[in-house]
Structure 1
Amino acid sequence: MASFIVSLTYTAPVEKVDALLEDHVAWLRAGYANGHFLGWGRKVPRSGGIILARGESREAVAALAATDPFVAGGVATVEVIEWAHGYLDDSIAGLAG
């Protein structure tokens, strides 16, 4: 499994983003339960979010990211970045898969 950074950027006012927040969080939790996501959080300032993900390929992670309610709902765009880590502290070693 490869490691990925999924970067979401809001394209709509935060009020529209917040209208989809409950569905987005449910989607994140399902992705965690299925072993795809390792962590997530908001960008500061609040302009989007970051998801740390694992997957077989960039294409597979991009296809999963396209199902995010924020993306499918048209309030965010997504960029999937494959990350070839060279070193991981023991506290985040799980990112290595």
Structure 2
Amino acid sequence: MLYFMIEGTFYDPLPVEPDELQKLIKGHLTYLQKGFNEGWILFSGPKAHSGGGVILMKAESRKEVDDFLEEDPFQKAGIQEYHVVEFRFHDGQEGVKSWFS
């Protein structure tokens, strides 16, 4: 299994109106839920001081990650770009170690 930290950054200026953005956020959260339900997303959340967010996920390949992100409502609407970093797990708090095994 491979592990990935994904940083999403909204384009500036955003090419959508605020009401459309709210719909896209709901769609994005619903889309991520599949990863939580199936156990391959450990966490996600918005960045504290700018548009976009962070996702930690595992996958069999980088292509699998890219395919997942390609179907994200944010990506399809052209409002966010992604920076993907593959990493190797070394150690962590007891509560998360089992996710990495």
Q: What corresponds to 2:39 in structure 1?
A: 35
- Deviating beyond 6 angstroms after TM superposition, the runs of 4 or more aligned structure 1 residues are none
Structure 2 CA distance, aligned partners of 1:95 and 1:4? 13
Deviations 1:4-56 (A, max 9, x none): 11111001168253230111110011121133211100111032100110100
Q: What corresponds to 1:9 in structure 2?
A: 9
Q: What corresponds to 1:80 in structure 2?
A: 84
Is the counterpart of residue 71 in structure 1 residue 75 in structure 2? Answer: yes
Structure 1: 5+ residue stretches without partners: none
Q: TM-score, normalised by structure 1?
A: 0.87
Structure 2 CA distance, aligned partners of 1:7 and 1:94? 23
Q: CA RMSD in A?
A: 1.8
The answer on whether the counterparts of 1:5 and 1:52 sit within 8 Å (CA) in structure 2 is yes
* Residues matched between the structures, number: 97
Alignment of 1:49-64 (within 5 A): 49-64=53-68
Structure 2: 5+ residue stretches without partners: none
